[in-house]
Chains A and B, each alone.
Chain A
Amino acid sequence: MSASAPDISAKPKRAFRLDLKTVGPLLALALLVLLGISLNENFLSYNNLTNVLARSSFIGIIAIGATFVITAGGLDLSVGSMAAVIAGVMIMVMNWLIPSLGIGWSVVIAGMLSGLLLGGVAGVFNGLMITRGRIEAFIVTLGTMGIFRSLVTFLANGGTLSLNFNVADVYRPVYYDGLLGVPYPIIVFALVAIGGEIAMRYTAFGRYCAAIGSNEQVARYSSINVDNVRLMTYILQGVLVGVAVLLYVPRLGSASSTTGVLWELEAIAGVIIGGTTLKGGYGRIWGTVVGVVILGLIGNILNLQSFISPYLNGAFQGVIIILAVLLQRGGRRT
């Protein structure tokens, strides 16, 4: 993989500086795909690709929200725990509504709405604490991360919350079925990504996020309502966590204290691999999609081979993440 880097830098500099910055994540993705193909002939099979993309869709949808938060100079560490608590509450709401609504889509839809609502409320709370409470985003979301994680453990009584078996059967197709052979999670992920790309590039909201992230004071003087835009990014993040959970719950029909552990770091890693800057000011939605897919492929490739000891899985992941970012930053210096 590293062999191709000197290749590129040897060519005329100015033309390729810009190129590398944009194609960096794609290049890393392509190299990873080549590695996958060389390891296993089933790598490019329809089943494997849909498996990996569907699995990545939860983190992907969350990471698109995180792209806005990070672009506006914020950070949300609570998304993994938030996902767990939303999953837990959705399951409890659905189980609780069965006697009144019966088994069917009405219960599932009620559950979905409760998930989205809870995500939004959690986002409002994070956002208000940060913008109106004037507390650093890191501290607020570190706090809510702990709160949400304990809440799900408490709700599950230390065990696992399981969705009623019959409702789970109704809900199951949302993860496992699809349109024209494309599973629903992938479709939703694509729609959220397209919507995110449009919002980031072509709307005032997207430009405000970038402006606030690059210089908050200047943004304020340009009469941007900094607090409200920031608040909106956290609400959007919360709702998108809700959307991700809507797709996650039908997969296993359960939530426990291990649900969503470290999702926040995976989402942030996906955002950064994709070319968004961690300190804010510049965000790229399609890059985030590529970054998340890269992370998904790493796990997949590790399972498709047996010459790297499973003890070293974490090291392999770390190396790929650093390489992926190095590929795009290498040419960025002026």
Chain B
Amino acid sequence: MKLAKSLLAAAVLTTSLGGIAVAQDKVTIGVSVPAADHGWTGGVNYFAQQAIERLGATYPNVEFVFASAADAPKQIGDIEDMVATRGIDALVILPGDPDAMTSAIKQVKDAGKFVTVVDRQLSIDGVENLYVAGDNPGLGANAAAYFKEALPEGGNIVILRGLPIPIDQQRFDGFMGGIEGTNITVLDDEFANWNRDDGFKVMQDFLTRFPDIKGVWTQDDDISLGAIEAIKQAGREGEMFVVGGAGMQQILQRVQAGDALTPIDVSYSPAMIATAIELTTSHFTGGIQVAGRYILDSTVITADNVDEFLDADSPF
């Protein structure tokens, strides 16, 4: 069904693009993302706008409509407006709260639009034409693999989690599965809300509570930055290492410098929104088959490959 639809779309496109230079058919693509309420979503907004600017210049016949919403009702309103008043042909959406937004996104699909969902899985299958996401269980599993390697004898670690939403659970389960059967002991885990200040507070208290910590898994670089300050304040930076996730420039610079406190990072780039916009655009401009699932690796970033991930212009 999905295949048939995209084949059909491809066929329609190839005929409409018969003349190469003549791009008379206007295509409108709506892009809807959550507001920049923390570092990672800030990156999403930046990379989305950057991709739109670049693609808008390359393809004059493609028009983009961009909206950033603070909560699910506002985001639903945004996409309803896009369909009703802007006549979009495709929607690229990173749903802030996927469960709350599934039926609204399904309506866009039922209206015959091409739908690309980014990062967060909807609550029912088969709504989206294209799904672009990072690998959350992989992010946990890859971090766990490093902990196994760095602590072959085992040891005590603490975990700073994000917010209680499915992504966090997938990462956590991936990590716990990865360290199963080793002598690594998780002393405790607490939510630090993907936030530097909370990372600082929770880590300070973990340091007060546990005299022996070998490793800290924060699964997010914003939390890491707060936790690192707390560790430095306690003068215990020689005792442990911190592994985050996302690939924030500040952490990558430390990885590049060979800082023993942050030996590695695990990528989970907000630039995935740009990948999704690119793919969706090429569905219309190139007549290329793009439907399906597109999972970006959660790569382990070490001093050896960090150069590929450094980008001086990125605000994230």
Q: Which residues of A contact B (CB under 8 A)?
A: 40, 42-43, 45, 47-48, 51, 55, 153, 156-160, 162, 176, 251-252, 254, 256-259, 299-300, 302-304, 306, 310-311, 313
Contact = CB atoms under 8 A, between A and B. Distances in A.
Contact of B38 (A48, A55, A257, A306): A257
Contacts of A51: 204-205, 208
A45 B209 CA distance: 10
A303 B209 contact: yes
B46 A158 contact: yes
Contact of A55 (B161, B204, B206): B204
Given A158-B315, A257-B37, A303-B205, A252 B42 contact: no
Contact of B197 (A157, A252, A302): A252
Nearest to A255: B196
A257 B196 CA distance: 11
B191 A159 contact: no
A317 to B, nearest CB: 13
B256 to A, nearest CB: 14
Given A47-B234, A51-B204, A252 B38 contact: no
Given A40-B209, A176-B233, 11 more contacts: A43-B208, A45-B208, A157-B46, A159-B42, A159-B43, A160-B42, A254-B225, A303-B190, A304-B205, A304-B208, A310-B161
B36 A304 contact: no
A160 B39 CA distance: 7
Contacts of B222: 160
Contacts of A302: 190
Interface string B177-218: 000000000001111000111001110111011000000000
Given A300-B205, A304-B208, A310-B190, A258 B195 contact: yes
B159 to A, nearest CB: 11
B36 A153 contact: yes
Nearest to A43: B208
Interface residues of B, number: 36
B264 to A, nearest CB: 21
Contacts of B38: 256-258
A251 B190 CA distance: 21
B136 interface: no
**10 residue pairs, one from A and one from B, having the closest CB atoms:** A159-B315, A303-B205, A158-B36, A158-B42, A159-B42, A158-B45, A48-B208, A51-B204, A306-B188, A42-B208
A157 B208 contact: no
Contacts of A306: 188
A159 B46 contact: yes
